């Protein structure tokens, strides 16, 4: 495996991050102490699912990613999952502990915004690893994440 990632690999990692986020927020919803937090986390889980679908569209637009050998495909997807797991929604973050510690929806939104910021930092790092042509695809991913932060900030302002 090359020490440089292709744009397809970066988008695949971003998709894995969104999958992790969807599952993470779902678990938070299941562990939430109040209906307001439960509804908020269900919303965030649904938003991550939308992002995942949007990122899958972006992956198609950059030529998709096909791996010919079955063994390599399994190894490759394990590698992509490991990269995603070590980035934003890490395995050492336990949703049930976070859910129990939250007192207000604003605290929950602050956590979500923090994860989105981590995704943005990750994508900025990845942008340096691709050629000029592929920077457009990364910019599309960044725009999606920035829009998510904007939405979360609006929700936070509207919470009494």
In which domain, by residue range, is 75 found? 7-158
Res. 16 pLDDT band, cuts 50 70 90? confident
Cα–Cα distance measured from residue 152 to residue 119, given in angstroms and rounded to the nearest whole number: 15
pLDDT tens digits for range 38-47: 888 899 899 8
Residue 1 lies in a domain: no
Residue 133 lies in a domain: yes
pLDDT tens digits for range 69-113: 444 445 655 655 565 555 555 555 666 677 677 778 888 888 889
Q: Answer with the residue of higher pLDDT: 131 or 105.
A: 105
Q: What is the DSSP letter of 109?
A: H
Residue 2 lies in a domain: no
Average pLDDT over residues 8-33: 83
pLDDT at position 101 is 78
Q: For residue 13, report the phi and psi dihedrals to the nearest 5 degrees.
A: -65, -45
Residue 46 lies in a domain: yes
Please count the residues of the chain: 160
Pick the closest to residue 25 from 4, 6, 51 (CA basis): 51
Residue 99 lies in a domain: yes
Residue 32 lies in a domain: yes
Contacts of 59 (CB under 8 A, 6+ apart): 8, 11, 12, 15, 65
CATH number for 118: 1.20.1260.10
């Amino acid at each position: 495996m090359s020490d440089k990632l292709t744009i397809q690999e970066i988008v695949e990692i971003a998709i894995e991050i969104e999958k992790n986020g969807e599952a993470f927020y779902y678990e938070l919803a299941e562990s939430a102490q109040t209906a307001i937090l439960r509804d908020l986390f269900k919303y965030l889980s649904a938003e991550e699912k939308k992002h995942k679908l949007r990122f899958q569209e972006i992956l198609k637009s950059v030529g998709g990613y096909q791996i010919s050998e079955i063994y390599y495909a399994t190894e490759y997807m394990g590698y992509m999952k490991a990269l995603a797991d070590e980035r934003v929604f890490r395995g050492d973050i336990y949703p049930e502990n976070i859910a129990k510690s939250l007192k207000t929806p604003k605290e929950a939104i602050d956590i979500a915004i923090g994860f989105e910021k981590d995704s943005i930092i990750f994508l900025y790092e990845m942008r340096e690893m691709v050629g000029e042509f592929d920077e457009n695809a990364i910019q599309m991913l960044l725009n999606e994440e920035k829009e998510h932060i904007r939405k979360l900030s609006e929700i936070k302002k509207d919470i009494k």
